[in-house]
Amino acid sequence: MHHDHGRDLLENRLLLSAVLTALIFLVELGGGLWTGSLALLSDSWHVLTDAAALGLAWFAARQGNKRPTARYTYGFSRLEVIAAFVNGLALIFISLWIIVEAVQRFFAPVPVKGLEVFAVAVAGLFVNLLVGLVLKKHADENMNVKGAFLHVAGDALSSLGVVTAGLLALRWRWYVADPLISLLISLMIIRSAWGLVRDSFQILMESAPRDLLLPEVVSALESLPEVANVHDLHAWNISGRIPAVSMHVLLQPGGADYQGVLERCQRLLARDFGIFHATIQLETACPVQDGRGCAEGRRPDCWEG
């Protein structure tokens, strides 16, 4: 029940955050058109991607609660990875668009209404900080929420930059600050988003978890007296926090206790590597068909890289 309550709380927070962010988009879009501020207008579209990201995160969290089915045997946990990947790409493309617009305004600065820009940006900053505080607790536990949180954190920085641009335009009529701040913020956002895209892409490609060293896994298993070698080993992440492996374990000759060996292998993987999803095929011989399949060529020391 506690786990379900935590899930429900996360879903409610994501939904509330999405609604608040959508309202700020409407305010900033209207404010950007009214004041002529590129920083405010570009930030409004950034806020729209935030609202979409939060809505997608809410949908992924809600679907992630569903039980596995005969078709989706792992359940729907990987939806959070897909949402993180889409969110990261959206951040990068929006930021590139802002950079292009900012460069154009360097050569043709546009006067902006400093006071109005400042007022609208402060309202946006307040909501972004509020949403960020709501999501911060869950950002380290869930890749999907981390993607949404990065959206909001990036937009909070953007709003802070717009506040600064509004003050500079109001006090000194320095209108170049508007595209300059937009450019700097966009570069910071791209840096954060790239890490999110990279991590989620690796999971979607079913690459081995970054903190899991497969040669160490093999060495630990082969240290068991009943194990001759481990081969055909694969490792991947079901989601950002659920590693899984499959492998063939060749036993020493002499009639080993199959069930006992299997339990010791599973216990070692769980205790030393945090792997609780392990598919282990025990063998007394290693068949090779046409040089492919269950062969020594699939051992970790034969992998490239």
Both tokens assigned to 300:
């970790």
Cβ contact 159:125 at 8 Å: yes
Where do the structural domains in the chain lie, given as residue ranges? 2-204, 214-302
Cα–Cα distances (Å) from 266 to 185, 240, 276, in that order, read 47, 21, 7
What is the C-alpha separation between 91 and 147, in angstroms, rounded? 10
What is the C-alpha separation between 122 and 158, in angstroms, rounded? 11
pLDDT in tens, 271-280: 999 999 999 9
Cα–Cα distances (Å) from 45 to 132, 179, 241, 284, in that order, read 18, 15, 31, 61
pLDDT in tens, 255-273: 678 899 999 999 999 999 9
pTM: 0.67
178-199: burial string, b at 16+ Cβ within 10 Å, e else: bbbbbbebbeebbebbeebbeb
Residues 6+ apart with CB under 8 A from 179: 38, 39, 101, 102, 103, 104, 105, 106, 109
Both tokens assigned to 68:
């596995």
**pLDDT value, residue 266:** 96
Q: Which amino acid is at 98?
A: I
Question: In CATH, what class is 214-302?
Answer: alpha beta
pLDDT in tens, 123-171: 888 888 888 887 877 776 666 677 778 777 777 877 777 788 778 877 7
**pLDDT value, residue 105:** 78
The strand pairing partners of 235, in sequence order, are 245
**pLDDT value, residue 286:** 63
Q: Same fold for the domain at 2-204 and the one at 214-302?
A: no
**pLDDT value, residue 255:** 66
Both tokens assigned to 281:
């095929």
What is the C-alpha separation between 85 and 87, in angstroms, rounded? 5
What is the C-alpha separation between 110 and 106, in angstroms, rounded? 9
What is the C-alpha separation between 72 and 239, in angstroms, rounded? 14
Cβ contact 250:228 at 8 Å: yes
Minimal CA–CA distance to 247: which of 299, 289, 302, 284? 299
Q: pLDDT under 50 in the chain at which residues?
A: 1-3, 289-293, 295-298, 301-302, 305
Return the axis-axis angle of helices 38-64 and 114-139, rounded to nearest 10°: 20
What is the C-alpha separation between 43 and 193, in angstroms, rounded? 16
CATH topology of domain 2-204: Alpha-lytic protease prodomain-like (1.20.1510)
Minimal CA–CA distance to 157: which of 117, 187, 113? 187
